[in-house]
Amino acid sequence: MAMIETINLCKEYGDLVALNNLNLAIQEGDCYGFIGPNGAGKTTTIKILATLLKPTRGQAMIDGLTVGYQNRQIRPRIGYVPDFMGAYEDMVVTEYLEFFAAAYNIHGSHRKRVVADVLDLTDLNYKSSAEVNSLSRGMQQRLSVARVLLHDPKVLLMDEPASGLDPRARIEIRELLKELKRMGKTIIISSHILHELSELCNTVGIIERGELIFSGTVKEIMRKAQVEHILHISVAERTQDAAKLLHGMPGVTRVSIEEDDQPVNHSAGARYIIEIAVEDASSTNVSDIPNRLVNAGFRLVQFTEERVNLETAFMRLTQGLVQ
């Protein structure tokens, strides 16, 4: 049984369809990156899972419990981190955490110990007596994570946790999330910072206009987006002649010449890169390409394959449509 599951989940606001038959299955211990443009339905999905919104149709389940019918049993199992922290900013950090610990029925010496533990985990010990509204945006996000860890939930629902953070704060949040992942938490993260999701997440989902376009492992999305293999080749001279030779090879679908914007040797003047597209690397022996050039008398300077990353995969699989 999946830890987080949605079955034909729909959410409508009048004529606006925010979610359209969303089917997710996130296993226990997964770190799931939820990707999509603004208005795609990411926040709506997370708010439904957090029991803050009722679906129009379909089901959402956490740890086998159904949202909307078993919310009291679900809430102790989840921790919800919105993109902005919210109220209670006039408290100091320890008061803030003790307030929420009391709300989770954590009392006495156990509460003191739990607050100390989450402060240590989120590296906020040195800010324990600071007012919440005096904290930087990054520290407030770490405090928000500390808050949802007080009751040791199985599932973390994180809506743009790195939104608006400076580079240092993003790195700190990323390292904290890696530690939570090592602790075995099941995590769903919506984010626009795609290269960081590829480092954190073992599975990803792409949503557009309320519909799930893709869901699977990071390797699977890269493979799906890799519709052709791109090779970058540079020769010492006679670039045009080398391009003509490559154009005639079987399996090569496209050849173009571009100026290298980052030449290794600036004193040597402009260097040109031949970019070729190979339709199917399994039918075209890529290793034959440099051999063909060398045998024809060309001196090979560069031969690299362009790798698809999460950002290019996202751009290739989506159309940029919003509601």
Is 49 a domain residue?
A: yes
CB crowding 120-144: b at 16 or more within 10 Å, else e: ebbebeebeeeebeebeebbbbbbb
Is 105 a domain residue?
A: yes
Region of poorest pLDDT, from 54-63, 149-158, 215-224, 292-301:
215-224
SS3 231: strand
Q: Do 204 and 252 have their domain in common?
A: no
Q: Do 23 and 41 have their domain in common?
A: yes
Domain boundary among 183, 201, 224: 224
Q: State the total domains in the chain.
A: 2
User: Which parts of 1-154 are beta strand (E)?
Assistant: 4-13, 16-26, 31-35, 57-62, 65-66, 78-81
Residue 216's pLDDT band (cuts 50, 70, 90): confident
The CATH number assigned to the domain holding 78 equals 3.40.50.300
CA 150 – CA 63 distance, rounded (Å): 19
H/E element, 225: helix 218-225
Q: Do 189 and 296 have their domain in common?
A: no
Q: Do 51 and 188 have their domain in common?
A: yes
Is 323 a domain residue?
A: no
Residues 184, 103, 61, 195, Cα dihedral to 10° = -50
The pLDDT tens digits for 23-56 are: 999 999 999 999 888 888 999 999 999 999 999 9
Residue 322's pLDDT band (cuts 50, 70, 90): very low
Structural domain range at position 246: 227-307
Domain boundary among 198, 224, 250: 224
277, pLDDT greater than 80: no
Region of poorest pLDDT, from 2-16, 109-123, 158-172, 174-188:
158-172
Two structure tokens written together for 135:
């904290």
Q: Do 261 and 148 have their domain in common?
A: no
Q: Do 40 and 115 have their domain in common?
A: yes
Is 312 a domain residue?
A: no
Highest mean pLDDT among 20-24, 199-203, 224-228, 289-293: 20-24
Q: Do 109 and 236 have their domain in common?
A: no
H/E element, 172: helix 167-182
Is 321 a domain residue?
A: no
Is 300 a domain residue?
A: yes
Domain boundary among 178, 194, 224: 224
Q: Do 130 and 260 have their domain in common?
A: no
Are the beta carbons of 197 and 33 closer than 8 angstroms? yes
Q: Do 51 and 128 have their domain in common?
A: yes
Cα 118 off chain centre by = 24
Residue 90: what pLDDT? 82
Exposure on the CB side of residue 147, measured as CA atoms within 13 A: 23
Are the beta carbons of 153 and 79 closer than 8 angstroms? yes
Could you give the percent of the chain with pLDDT greater than 90?
45
Two structure tokens written together for 195:
């290269």
Q: Do 263 and 209 have their domain in common?
A: no
Is 322 a domain residue?
A: no
CA 204 – CA 35 distance, rounded (Å): 7
The pLDDT tens digits for 114-164 are: 999 999 999 999 999 999 989 988 899 899 999 999 999 999 999 988 777
Which residues, 6+ apart, have CB-to-CB distance to 242 below 8 Å?
Answer: 233, 235, 274, 293, 296, 298
CA 112 – CA 315 distance, rounded (Å): 47
Q: Do 44 and 156 have their domain in common?
A: yes
> What spatial distance separates the first Cα and last Cα of the chain, rounded to whole Å?
32
Is 80 a domain residue?
A: yes
Q: Which residue has the tokens 């981190």?
A: 81
Q: Do 210 and 269 have their domain in common?
A: no
